Chain A
């Protein structure tokens, strides 16, 4: 093997390591990494909870407000008619129904829908305040307000 070919082989072997080294030089803000880790662990936990609670619901091991066998009578109705026909709660009323396996499923869904606010409050807001990055701290605070308002159930919609 000529020295030129050997050198080429060595270059090819070291190329991925070089790429990794260059990629590692990309500066990712620490708050971005922490936020990513929060999403990673909590979103998969949420999906795991969804799987378990759905099995409890479908298997009938645990009682439900509307048994799965009867839900087909309601799923073709508008949400307004469904609430009238079943007397199901809305807003945060589902929290009081967690003894029923169908409402237990909402824990996993609510966890997925809460992660962004948790990440903003616990990680991003303190990080931007520490950096005195006022525009981004303001954006984060506004987003927390918007998401909290949406989650609060204060806003109501007209029936159709």
Chain B
């Protein structure tokens, strides 16, 4: 008799499980009426435009990708963040060689910073994958809105005045030279406030891993305004170090099964092609207008993400 009851209970449990899965599948089945192939196609076109805009506005594609795709596409935020990291990684790897050869990305500056950021991006990735989607949407919305505000108020300094390099900077010999065409001469640089800068990269790494964002928007102000690296070195080293920071978080997402090729591949290809076109259009662009456009886009996507997380 006991065997019969257990068998029936097992059957009921199985039915319940199956119906839960079936319900979840039905709920998650995208927008009714839209053919499945339309979404990757729209994603490719959106990312292509994003790639053009990102280059002209001087930002990484990753920071636009997650809030926009996460807010306006039917994909779960887990897969969007996984794809966002692959997008930021591919962009950084493609830009890295030119920057390294021109000595605009400097290994002595990037390697220590990358070690800190990549370690904490793993922690961020695990936190992001463990949090419920609505909480994550709220956090993402707040973060993206803050990034937009940072863009509005941040002022870069082409050649910051650097005081006496600190002990850490001296012991790691963080210094270099690059050719400045506007001055027609090599510029020698060094950095200071290294411990404070390194500490901030803990937070930057966490945010990058948690939300799948490329973190150039945060790297550049810290390297340039706080640590005193010339703007070109800050931008170049920031872009390059994303190739290291995002690698560690990308592995976490890949191992957790959070990288769907149908989302990640059109995104990477779209952004890369868009970046190539953006570089060609750069000469005739009005950077201030494009930058303002990006700020509006980020604010819009940030507020939408916040509202989505709050259930509106």
Contacts and interface: CB of A to CB of B under 8 A. Distances in A.
Interface string A1-27: 000000000000001001100110111
A143 B241 CA distance: 12
A153 B248 CA distance: 11
Interface in A113-149: 113, 115-117, 124, 135-136, 139-140, 142-143, 146-147, 149
B130 interface: yes
B294 interface: no
A151 interface: yes
A147 B79 contact: no
Contact of A77 (B24, B172, B185, B266): B24
Nearest to A23: B179
Contacts of B96: 36, 39, 43
A96 interface: no
B263 interface: yes
Given A32-B100, A43-B93, A85 B24 contact: yes
A36 B257 contact: no
A26 B250 CA distance: 34
A73 B32 CA distance: 11
Contact of B74 (A40, A44, A76, A89): A76
A146 B119 contact: yes
A85 B243 CA distance: 33
Contacts of B243: 39, 115-116
Contacts of B143: none
Most buried by A among B261, B262, B268: B261
B29 A72 contact: yes
B107 A54 contact: no
Contacts of B122: 146, 149-150, 155
A99 interface: no
B47 interface: no
A160 B251 contact: no
A20 to B, nearest CB: 9
A48 to B, nearest CB: 11
B163 interface: no
Nearest to B185: A22
B311 interface: no
Interface in B232-273: 243-244, 247-252, 254-266, 268-269, 272
A75 B247 contact: no
Interface in B79-131: 79, 82, 86, 89-90, 93-94, 96-98, 100-103, 107-108, 111-112, 114-115, 118-119, 122, 126, 129-131
A26 B179 contact: yes
Contacts of B75: 75-76
B21 interface: yes
A15 B185 CA distance: 12
B82 to A, nearest CB: 8
B126 A155 contact: yes
A140 B258 CA distance: 28
Interface string B130-166: 1111000000000000000000000000000000000
A22 B97 contact: no
A71 B107 CA distance: 41
Contacts of B130: 157-160
Given A51-B269, A155-B122, A147 B248 contact: yes
A159 to B, nearest CB: 8
Interface of B: 21, 24-25, 27-30, 36-37, 39-40, 74-76, 78-79, 82, 86, 89-90, 93-94, 96-98, 100-103, 107-108, 111-112, 114-115, 118-119, 122, 126, 129-133, 171-172, 177-179, 181, 184-186, 243-244, 247-252, 254-266, 268-269, 272
13 contacts: A22-B179, A29-B107, A47-B90, A72-B36, A75-B263, A79-B256, A108-B265, A112-B93, A113-B250, A117-B247, A124-B111, A146-B248, A157-B130
